[in-house]
Structure 1
Amino acid sequence: MTIELLDSTSVVDTSNAFVRKTIAAPATDILGRIGNLETRLARSAAEIDAAQAVRYKVFVEEMRAQVSPDAERRKRDVDGWDAICDHLLVLDTSIDGDVEEQIVGTYRLLRQDVAERASGFYSASEFAIAELLSRHPEKRFMELGRSCVLLKYRTRRTVELLWQGNWAYALKHGIDAMFGCGSFPGVIPEEHALALSFLHHNVRVRDEWTVAARPELYRTMDLMPSEAIDPKKALAALPPLIKGYMRLGAMVGDGAVVDQAFRTTDVLIVLPISNISGRYLNYYGADAGRFSSSVS
């Protein structure tokens, strides 16, 4: 999954005050549309169930994640956070049948105010999120998680729609920063020494945004000296989703965590809204209107 850039030299003000002044509510609950694909939030328990089925296909059948016997029987990827999150969907409206059969991608969105009233953030099981949040009591955070797209639909426009949905949702709720786990395949960090070291030396969180893996789970990302890293090869070795977040202006937390259940090595992505490149805002729309302007 790769986010492509448009070439643009235009600059817009990315401060949160500017963002909040330019929020525009969509005419419907559809957040974006490109061709036969559209993105919006799940409207029912049945649609959330269908999103969990997509997650199962990607995480369990494709990536070999370990799930409970009940989840295996039901062929659904489910956890306790599903009940409190909003579920962003990408649907292929050209597919005949009911709406559940049209869901081809999903993202799970959890706002800070909701997390604090319930089970907290999923990422807090791996990273010391509380320290980051306490450093920014005036900011609103949102967690992005469980991102997946069916193999056939891993195209530029699908990823653009997922980001369009995230962006529109963040504007609507006045979000100041997003974060979430980004994953490398496998449970041996050393197999990704080049990419992890590149992230450690070049895009690691600093100063007020500092956040690290929980001490008992911490695995170093500093596996190669900076002078030994070939940047082009390192970028090529990055998972496309992490590379896409970097292009948006994201930083990466200190330390990785091995997730044995999902068979991944996780890093924490931190994306302050104020970091998002002006050319991205011009492309997607400072009012989230880039792909929703034709929706009536």
Structure 2
Amino acid sequence: MTDRFKGGQARRYIVRAVASASDLRAAQALRGAAFGLRGPDVDPLDDICEHMLIEDRRLNRLAGCFRLLPLASGSDIARSYSAQFYDLSALTSYAAPMTELGRFCIHPTARDPDILRAAWAAITAHVDAGRVEMLFGCTSFRGVDPAPYEGAFAALARAHLAPRAWAPVARAAQTIPLGGRCARASLAAVPPLLRSYLGMGGWVSDHAVVDPAMNTLHVFTGLEIAAIPPARQRLLRATLDGGGAAR
């Protein structure tokens, strides 16, 4: 990655690929802190993924990170992290290139939305370079108590469930169905990354998985690149070229 993958605020953020073992350790340490673990988050899939760092030039620290797992088609989806928790049989027939976006973390004290914008610019470059036609992954809600997310889960079920052709099936030991009666259905409690997906036409599984090891609830999330509205695609590429913000 080069200098052109930057957010706003006088080009404060730079997104680049890990270049050394110490870079990867820094990403794993940030992941551990973001997930509230006692140490770094190290995962077996780290060895086969492409890792990206979001650097804050103003504070001279790591502002965020994520990893990418490119797949030639849905026939390779069993290799993904998501396949450990969801039955993704419906997506094995997907014939085009796909990428799993995972372990997306932002520094626990960072609040600047330009961090997410910078990340999406780099993701856009990856999509263009690999002619990727679908992004997918697990997007997380902090904690394992579903009560704070009752309204969010109801709103997701009403308007953002996966197309039947691609819908994941439950396979994890502990799951929570989305939906139910909720007078306060709202996306207010939805994490920023998932809101970005939804704003571009993304969709989710009909259930959340309880993951005690990571202290999260997560939903499978998919985004077909062709479904992104043209205006949003122009904004994403404006950020990629250094001409503006992604959203």
Q: TM-score, normalised by structure 1?
A: 0.74
2:241 aligned with 1:290 = yes
With over 3 angstroms needed to count, the CA separation of the structure-2 counterparts of 1:118 and 1:209, relative to structure 1, is: closer
Which residue does 2:50 correspond to in 1? 86
* Displacement after TM superposition at 1:128 (Å): 1.2
* Displacement after TM superposition at 1:206 (Å): 1.6
2:174 aligned with 1:213 = no
2:132 aligned with 1:175 = yes
Larger-gyration structure (1/2): 1
Counterparts of residues 94-105 of structure 1 (less than 5 Å): 94-95=58-59, 102-105=61-64
* Aligned residue identity for 2:108: L
With over 3 angstroms needed to count, the CA separation of the structure-2 counterparts of 1:115 and 1:51, relative to structure 1, is: farther
Cα offsets for 1:75-121 (capped at 9, x unmatched): 3210101111101111123456xxxxx32210111111499889811
Which residue does 1:244 correspond to in 2? 196
How far apart in 2 are the matches of 1:211 and 1:114? 16
Secondary structure of 1:237's counterpart equals coil
* Displacement after TM superposition at 1:244 (Å): 2.0
- Within the candidate set 265, 271, 278, 2:230 is matched to 278
* Displacement after TM superposition at 1:242 (Å): 1.6
* Displacement after TM superposition at 1:230 (Å): 4.2
How far apart in 2 are the matches of 1:275 and 1:209? 14
How far apart in 1 are the matches of 2:236 and 2:45? 29
What count of residue pairs does the alignment treat as equivalent? Answer: 241
Which residue does 1:156 correspond to in 2? 113
Cα offsets for 1:51-94 (capped at 9, x unmatched): 1111122112xxxx4xxxxxx5xx32101011111011111234
2:158 aligned with 1:194 = no
* Displacement after TM superposition at 1:267 (Å): 0.6
With over 3 angstroms needed to count, the CA separation of the structure-2 counterparts of 1:117 and 1:256, relative to structure 1, is: closer
Instruction: Give the number of the structure with larger relative contact order, counting CA–CA contacts within 8 Å between residues 6 or more apart.
Output: 1
Contact 2:70 2:99 in 1 (8 A): yes
* Displacement after TM superposition at 1:164 (Å): 0.8
Structure 1 gaps, min length 5: 1-27, 66-71, 97-101
Q: Which has the higher helix share?
A: 1
* Aligned residue identity for 2:42: V
With over 3 angstroms needed to count, the CA separation of the structure-2 counterparts of 1:116 and 1:291, relative to structure 1, is: farther
Contact 2:172 2:209 in 1 (8 A): no
Secondary structure of 2:101's counterpart equals strand
4+ residue runs over 6 A deviation: 114-119
Structure 2 gaps, min length 5: none
Q: Which has the higher strand share?
A: 2
Q: TM-score, normalised by structure 2?
A: 0.87
With over 3 angstroms needed to count, the CA separation of the structure-2 counterparts of 1:187 and 1:152, relative to structure 1, is: closer
